[in-house]
A = this chain, B = another copy of it.
Amino acid sequence: MAKLIEPKVLKGFRDFLPEQEIERRELMTRLEETYKSFGFVPIDTPVLEYTNVLLGKGGGETDKQVYHFMDHGKRDVAMRFDLTVPFARYMAAHRHELYLPFKRYHINKVWRGENTQKGRYREFVQCDFDIVGVDSPSSDFEILLMMRASMQNLGVDKCTVQFSHRGIFNRFLENLGLMEQSVEILRIVDKLAKIGRDEVISLLTEIADGGRAEKIVDFIEAKDTFESTLANMTELAGGPSEDTARLEEIWAAIQDMGLECSFILNPSITRGLDYYTGLVYETFLDELPSIGSVCSGGRYNNLAGLYTKEELPGVGASVGLDRLLAALEELGQSSRKKSYTKVLIFQMDGSLMGHYHKLAGQIRLAGVSCEVFPLDKKLGVQFKFAEQKEIPFGIICGSEEKAAGTVNLKNLASRENYEGISLEKALEILKA
C-alpha cells in the first residue's frame, strides 16, 4: 500500500466546516441582497490575469505579495490581489457594452502572499461595491447609506460610519508646505485612535517642526459638532472650496434623513495609502471599535487610467468579510447553524425506500428542507445523526403508517410526539 499523503493546507489558507461556510454564505447573501436593493449589478472577472495588466506600473509593496508565475504557454500570469484593479480593466474593456453611471458589486476571493503572523490570511473574500462614471454628492451619499444598510442587514445595528474628505486634507498639507511628506504623515495620522494625541505629535515632530505638527493634530481632531469640525478644517485648509461644499451637501442630506447619529465627520480618516481623492469612509462597530473598520472606501478621480484615456471618476467601498465574521463571533452574534435540514425521515424498513423518498419530495414541495436517513441502522444511531446535524424534527414511518397514509412526527428537541397524523398536518407543524 502506498504511503499516505498528509491532508494539510497551506499556511494562510483555510478549509471551512459546514457551520462556518453556512454563516459565511449567509453574510455574503445578505450583503448581496443589500447591494441589489440599491440597484447594483454583479459582474465577474477571471482569477488569473496577465501579470503586467494587473500590476501596471510595477514596483511597490503589493507586487511582492502577488502570486504570479509562468503558465504552460509561457505567459506571465497572476492571481488577482484585489477586485478594484480587475474592475478598472473590465471597465476599459467593456465600456462600449455598458452605460454610465455604472454600479457594480463583486463578492469574491483575492490572494496575497502576505506575512501571516498578524492573523492575516493569504486567501480572503472582498465584498466591493462601486459607482463609476459620476462625481456627485448623491453618489457619495448613496455609498454612505449602503455602508450603514449593509451592517444593518447583517444584524449589526450599532455601528458608526466615520467620514472625511481627502481633498481637504491634501489642500491643508499643501498650505503647510508638507505635501512631499504626505505619505509619512498619512501613516502617522492613521494611528490617532490607536496611539493617542501625544504620541502622534511626537512622531509628527520628526517630520515637521513642532508648530506644524500641532497644527496637523488640530486638523485631524474631531470637534463637538459637524459644523465646528468642518469650520476648523475649512479654516486650516485655507477657506471654503468645492470640497468643503461637498461635505456640507452630504451633511444636509444626512439631516434630511434624520441620520445624524450614524455618521460622524472625523478628519483623521484619510485612507492613508489608497488612491482616494475625495470623500473617504470607514465603519466601526460601536460595541467593538478595537477590531478596526469593517467597511471602508472613498471617492477616486480616475478608475481606469492605466487602460483607457476616458476618465472614470467613481466612489465605492468594500466590506471586510473575515474581520466582520471575527467581530460577530466576539459579540456572540454568530449563527453557527449546522445544517439547513428541518426534518429527517428515519429509515425503519429498507423496503420502504421509495415511500420515504416520495414523502421527502412532498415535504420539499411545501418548501421544507428534508432528508432521508439512507441506511438500516438502529434508531439510536439515527437519533445521534439528527442531533449532530441539529435537525429539529423527525418523521418515523413503517409499513403500517404507509398503509394508513399517516406519519409519526417527532420534535427531536422537546421530544413531543404527533402520532398517526396526515402529512398535511405534519407540514402545518413543520411550517409553524
Contact = CB atoms under 8 A, between A and B. Distances in A.
A360 B253 CA distance: 13
Given A45-B15, A71-B67, A370-B37, A141 B357 contact: yes
B94 A17 contact: yes
Interface stretch (A48-56, A217-225, A415-423): A48-56
Contacts of A136: 374-375
Contacts of A24: 44
Nearest to A389: B99
A339 interface: yes
Nearest to A21: B42
Contacts of A123: 46-48
A122 to B, nearest CB: 8
A2 B358 contact: no
Interface in A9-47: 9-11, 13-18, 21-22, 24-25, 36-39, 41-47
Interface string A144-177: 0100010000000000000000000000000000
B93 A8 contact: yes
A8 B364 contact: no
A6 B304 CA distance: 11
B307 A5 contact: yes
Given A38-B371, A375-B138, A48 B109 contact: no
Q: Work out how many copies of this chain go into the complex.
A: 2
Nearest to A75: B10
A264 interface: no
Interface in A105-119: 109, 111, 113
Interface of A: 2, 4-11, 13-18, 21-22, 24-25, 36-39, 41-50, 52-53, 56-57, 64-65, 67, 69-73, 75, 77, 79, 89-90, 92-94, 97-99, 101, 103-104, 109, 111, 113, 122-123, 131, 134, 136-139, 141-142, 145, 149, 249, 252-257, 304, 306-309, 338-341, 344, 347, 350, 353-358, 360-361, 364, 369-375, 385, 388-389, 391
Given A8-B93, A38-B369, 10 more contacts: A7-B307, A7-B308, A9-B46, A10-B71, A13-B49, A39-B369, A47-B111, A138-B374, A141-B353, A257-B361
28 contacts: A2-B57, A4-B307, A4-B309, A5-B52, A6-B307, A7-B308, A8-B93, A10-B50, A13-B46, A13-B49, A14-B46, A15-B94, A18-B98, A21-B44, A39-B389, A39-B391, A41-B339, A46-B123, A67-B69, A99-B389, A131-B374, A137-B350, A138-B350, A145-B357, A256-B358, A257-B357, A257-B358, A257-B361
